[in-house]
């Protein structure tokens, strides 16, 4: 295991990124509340690195993905791609940079236009970026189909003729078409049958090893994340509570929340084990608790946790934790 | 495919076709009626026993007879021929108006549903206001301003039929905009206008087709109503509403004059409504009644 930290300019840098959603009621209703979906996230993804982003549903991990993809703009903070802050670039200037970041979506049904053939779906990125002539594009599409394990005869099929696994392979082929430097995979297998999940994970792993593309792997499935990631960041209520190399994190989870998550992973070799049961519910991001977000459920909570928000502190090379008790 | 299923295929297919026909009986009837009128509109001169303007004052205001199957009008013109030839005028006005309304509605609906910010909001507010005015009143007002005649009629109907299409399309566009394939298109660098045309519109077209065919029936009613009021197609052109309007003067003496255009109007409206309902059931079972 090498140190997974990038030593040159990272591919993606999130600098204290905040995304708030206003909650309005009715057409003339004022702002009734603010959902703090992402609240001060600082994160880097190095070239060729696979970063797993884990957390419960609603913790803001998908929003982080959308902000890096610039499908959404942050309320404050900077999202840098190759050193350029893309968070407020106009779409016209952004478009050439979009080649570098592609996305694989969670729902393989919603992510494919039902009125386009499979071949056309994969060809569209090439067409829009003016890559190749008609014959060249057709050849590229065929190569991409082969790369993701789809038969070339499927190019003329419409998505409704494809299975869930085939659809997700098609989504991956589309994401690969522009030879991106980063692929954001937002729960790419959670909508698939378990038997197909492994195939798609293996496909992504193979592609990563062949093309050296970096991955942001957003998931709530720790087993999958452990399998595929180099580094893992744990999110809780819009903040990152711990980030470390995969082996470090899974061997020595330091934040009490990470600890709880790791214990929840079923393991064959561990047998029956005492698990500390999670206490209470995840508080609403509409009105997050002050201080450390986790103090309402944390068995270690002290006075300071209720007052002050802990910042990420490096406790070992490449291992950062935000906890007053464990990383004072 | 095995040999047995191959040999069974024809009977299976015809049973399937029969089931389809039974399930889509509205669509079949609608297509038959509208298709019939379209045929008449194209070949009216060949079918009609007399010319539209052929007068024979000796036989004025006569009831149905062997020579004039549904009678004659005040100038002795054959009513059957006038109704047959009038099909073309009524159908042309209705279809042209609905086509224009559909195109305008598509543009407005796409923009108001897809473009966030002020362009969408302004269109949306304008459509809201237009929808509060009853369609017929709006059409009469516009026709009165434009003056009588075919062009005024078409303009009046297209303008008053645009808001419903824009509104219904907007709803569908708002739905489609949330689909991941729209985000995927943004990610691969497709500009917004191409996303609207290539990704959003094709997935929303069904609802426009259904709404437009239902509107065509309405357009026939509005066109003939305006003709009846003298705001539409002007005599001596034998448009159905105009035929009704001129027949009204002789309602006491010769009630047969208004019967044949009246039946024609009802039948065509019925045809378009069946067509619209049938298309809806066939193409979009989700919103079926």
pLDDT in tens, B48-89: 888 888 888 888 888 888 888 888 888 889 999 999 999 999
**Band (B4; pLDDT cuts 50, 70, 90):** very low
Q: Which among B190, B191, B202 has the least Cβ separation from residue A124?
A: B190
What percentage of chain B carries pLDDT values higher than 70? 94
Reading phi first (left if > 0) and then psi (alpha if -120 to 50, else beta), residue A213 is in beta
- Contact (Cβ atoms closer than 8 angstroms) between residue A190 and residue A155: no
- Decide which of B235 and B89 is more confident: B89
Predicted local distance difference test score (pLDDT) of residue B34? 96
Predicted local distance difference test score (pLDDT) of residue B17? 85
Closest-CA residue of chain A to B190: A128
Out of A187-196, A230-239, A255-264, the most confident range is A230-239
- Cβ pair A71:B186 closer than 8 A: yes
Predicted local distance difference test score (pLDDT) of residue B3? 44
Sheet holding A31-45, edge to edge: A31-45, A12-24, A76-81, A84-85
- Decide which of A9 and A318 is more confident: A318
Residue A280 has pLDDT above 80, yes or no: no
Q: What is the pLDDT averaged over residues A204-211?
A: 92
- Cβ pair A110:B203 closer than 8 A: no
Q: Which among B180, B189, B202 has the least Cβ separation from residue A128?
A: B189
Nearest chain A CA: its distance from B13 CA (Å) = 21
pLDDT in tens, A71-130: 999 999 999 999 899 999 998 899 889 999 999 999 999 999 999 999 999 999 999 999
Nearest chain B CA: its distance from A232 CA (Å) = 25
Predicted local distance difference test score (pLDDT) of residue B75? 87
Residue A70 has pLDDT above 60, yes or no: yes
Predicted local distance difference test score (pLDDT) of residue A269? 66
- Cβ pair A105:B191 closer than 8 A: no
Q: What is the pLDDT averaged over residues B8-27?
A: 79
Nearest chain A CA: its distance from B11 CA (Å) = 26
- Cβ pair B187:A129 closer than 8 A: no
B180 and chain A: CB distance < 8 Å anywhere?
A: yes
Q: A285: exposed, middle or buried (C-beta count within 10 Å: 0-12, 13-18, 19+)?
A: buried
Residues of B in contact with A110 (CB under 8 A): 179-181
Could you give the dihedral angle defined by the CA atoms of residues A103, A108, A113 and A116, in that order, rounded to the nearest 10 degrees?
100
Closest CA to A17 of A214, A240, A182: A240
Residues of B in contact with A116 (CB under 8 A): 198-199
Q: Which among B181, B188, B202 has the least Cβ separation from residue A128?
A: B188
Token digits of residue B66: 């062997």
Strand residues in chain A grouped as ranges (E): 12-24, 31-45, 50-54, 76-81, 84-85, 101-104, 182-186, 214-219, 231-236, 239-245, 313-316, 319-321
The CATH homologous superfamily of the domain defined by A47-68+93-290: P-loop containing nucleotide triphosphate hydrolases (3.40.50.300)
State the complex-level ipTM: 0.88
- Contact (Cβ atoms closer than 8 angstroms) between residue A243 and residue A43: yes
Q: What is the pLDDT averaged over residues A131-153?
A: 94
Predicted local distance difference test score (pLDDT) of residue B11? 64
DSSP A151: -
- Contact (Cβ atoms closer than 8 angstroms) between residue B161 and residue B135: yes
d(CA B268, CA B175): 34
Q: Tell which B residues from 181 to 220 touch A, by Cβ distance under 8 Å.
A: 181, 183-192, 194, 198-199, 202-203
Nearest chain A CA: its distance from B178 CA (Å) = 9
Residues of A in contact with B185 (CB under 8 A): 113, 124
- Decide which of B10 and A44 is more confident: A44
**Band (B149; pLDDT cuts 50, 70, 90):** confident
Residues of A in contact with B199 (CB under 8 A): 113, 115-116
Predicted local distance difference test score (pLDDT) of residue A275? 59
- Cβ pair B187:A103 closer than 8 A: yes
d(CA B76, CA B58): 7
B128 and chain A: CB distance < 8 Å anywhere?
A: no
Predicted local distance difference test score (pLDDT) of residue A274? 56
Predicted local distance difference test score (pLDDT) of residue A256? 92
Closest-CA residue of chain B to A69: B187
Token digits of residue B21: 């026909």
- Cβ pair B189:A125 closer than 8 A: yes
pLDDT in tens, B90-119: 999 999 999 999 999 999 999 999 988 888
pLDDT in tens, B33-59: 999 999 999 998 888 888 888 888 888
- Contact (Cβ atoms closer than 8 angstroms) between residue B280 and residue B288: yes
Residue B5 has pLDDT above 50, yes or no: no
Domain locations along chain B: 26-53+70-287
**Band (A272; pLDDT cuts 50, 70, 90):** low
Q: Can you give the pTM of this predicted structure?
A: 0.84
Domain locations along chain A: 47-68+93-290
Residue B6 has pLDDT above 60, yes or no: no
The CATH homologous superfamily of the domain defined by B26-53+70-287: MetI-like (1.10.3720.10)
- Cβ pair B190:A115 closer than 8 A: no
Closest-CA residue of chain A to B186: A71
What percentage of chain A carries pLDDT values higher than 70? 92
Residues of B in contact with A115 (CB under 8 A): 199, 202-203
- Decide which of A265 and B84 is more confident: B84
A296 and chain B: CB distance < 8 Å anywhere?
A: no
Interface with chain A: mutation pick from B128, B175, B184, highest number of A CBs within 10 Å: B184
pLDDT in tens, A132-142: 899 999 999 99
Other Cβ atoms less than 10 A from the Cβ of B4: the count is 8
Q: Give the number of A-B residue pairs with CB atoms closer than 8 Å.
A: 64
A306 and chain B: CB distance < 8 Å anywhere?
A: no
**Band (A9; pLDDT cuts 50, 70, 90):** confident
Task: Give, for A157, the enclosing helix (H) or strand (E).
Answer: none
Q: What is the pLDDT averaged over residues B166-177?
A: 94
pLDDT in tens, A164-204: 999 999 999 999 999 999 999 999 998 898 889 999 999 99
Averaged pLDDT of chain A: 89
């Amino acid at each position: 295991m090498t140190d997974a930290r990038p030593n040159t300019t990272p591919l993606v840098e999130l600098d204290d990124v905040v995304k708030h959603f206003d909650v309005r009621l009715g057409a003339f209703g004022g702002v009734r509340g603010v959902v703090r979906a992402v609240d001060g996230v600082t994160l880097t993804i190095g070239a060729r690195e696979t970063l797993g982003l884990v957390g419960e549903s609603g913790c803001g991990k998908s929003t982080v993905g959308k902000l890096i993809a610039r499908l959404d703009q942050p309320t404050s903070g900077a999202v840098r791609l190759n050193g350029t802050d893309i968070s407020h670039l106009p779409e016209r200037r952004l478009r050439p940079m979009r080649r570098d970041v592609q996305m694989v979506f969670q729902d393989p049904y919603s992510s494919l236009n039902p009125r386009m053939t499979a071949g056309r779906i994969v060809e569209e990125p090439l067409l829009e970026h003016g890559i190749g002539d008609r014959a060249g594009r057709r050849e590229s599409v065929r190569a991409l189909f082969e790369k993701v394990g789809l038969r070339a005869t499927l190019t003329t099929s419409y998505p409704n003729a494809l299975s869930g696994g085939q659809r997700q392979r098609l989504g991956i082929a589309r994401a690969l078409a522009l030879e991106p430097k980063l692929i954001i995979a937002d729960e790419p297998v959670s909508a698939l049958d378990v038997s197909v999940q492994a195939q798609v994970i293996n496909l992504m792993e193979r592609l990563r090893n062949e093309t050296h593309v970096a991955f942001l792997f957003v998931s709530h499935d720790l087993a999958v994340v452990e399998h595929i990631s180099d580094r893992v960041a744990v999110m809780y209520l819009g903040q990152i509570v711990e980030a470390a190399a995969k082996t470090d994190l899974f061997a020595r989870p330091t934040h009490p929340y990470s600890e709880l998550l790791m214990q929840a992973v079923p393991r064959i070799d561990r047998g029956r084990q005492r698990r500390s049961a999670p206490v209470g519910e995840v508080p609403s991001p509409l009105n997050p608790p002050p201080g450390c977000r986790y103090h309402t459920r944390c068995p270690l909570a002290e006075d300071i946790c209720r007052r002050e928000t802990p910042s990420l502190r490096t406790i070992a090379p490449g291992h950062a934790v935000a906890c007053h008790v464990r990383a004072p | 495919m095995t040999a047995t299923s191959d040999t069974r295929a024809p009977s299976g297919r015809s049973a399937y076709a029969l089931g389809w026909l039974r399930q889509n009986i509205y669509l079949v009837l609608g297509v038959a009626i509208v298709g019939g009128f379209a045929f008449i509109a194209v070949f009216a001169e060949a079918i009609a026993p007399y010319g539209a303007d052929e007068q024979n004052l000796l036989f004025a205001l006569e009831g149905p007879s062997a020579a004039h199957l549904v009678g004659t009008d005040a100038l002795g013109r054959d009513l059957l021929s006038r109704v047959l030839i009038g099909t073309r005028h009524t159908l042309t006005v209705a279809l042209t108006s609905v086509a224009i309304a559909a195109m305008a509605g598509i543009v407005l609906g796409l923009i108001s549903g897809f473009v966030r910010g002020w362009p969408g909001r302004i269109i949306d507010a304008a459509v809201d206001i237009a929808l509060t005015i009853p369609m017929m009143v709006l059409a009469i007002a516009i026709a009165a301003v434009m003056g009588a005649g075919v062009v005024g009629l078409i303009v009046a109907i297209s303008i008053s039929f645009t808001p419903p299409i824009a509104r219904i399309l907007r709803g569908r566009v708002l739905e489609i905009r949330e689909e991941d394939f729209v985000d995927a298109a943004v990610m691969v660098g497709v500009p917004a206008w191409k996303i609207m045309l290539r990704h959003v519109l094709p997935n929303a077209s069904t609802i426009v087709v259904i709404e437009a065919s239902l509107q065509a029936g309405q357009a026939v009613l509005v066109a003939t109503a305006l003709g009846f009021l003298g705001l539409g197609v002007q005599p001596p052109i034998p448009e159905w509403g105009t035929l009704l309007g001129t027949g009204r003067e002789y309602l006491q003496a010769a009630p047969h004059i208004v019967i044949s255009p009246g039946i024609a109007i009802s039948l065509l409206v019925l045809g378009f409504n069946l067509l619209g309902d049938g298309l809806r059931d066939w193409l979009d079972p989700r919103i079926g009644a």
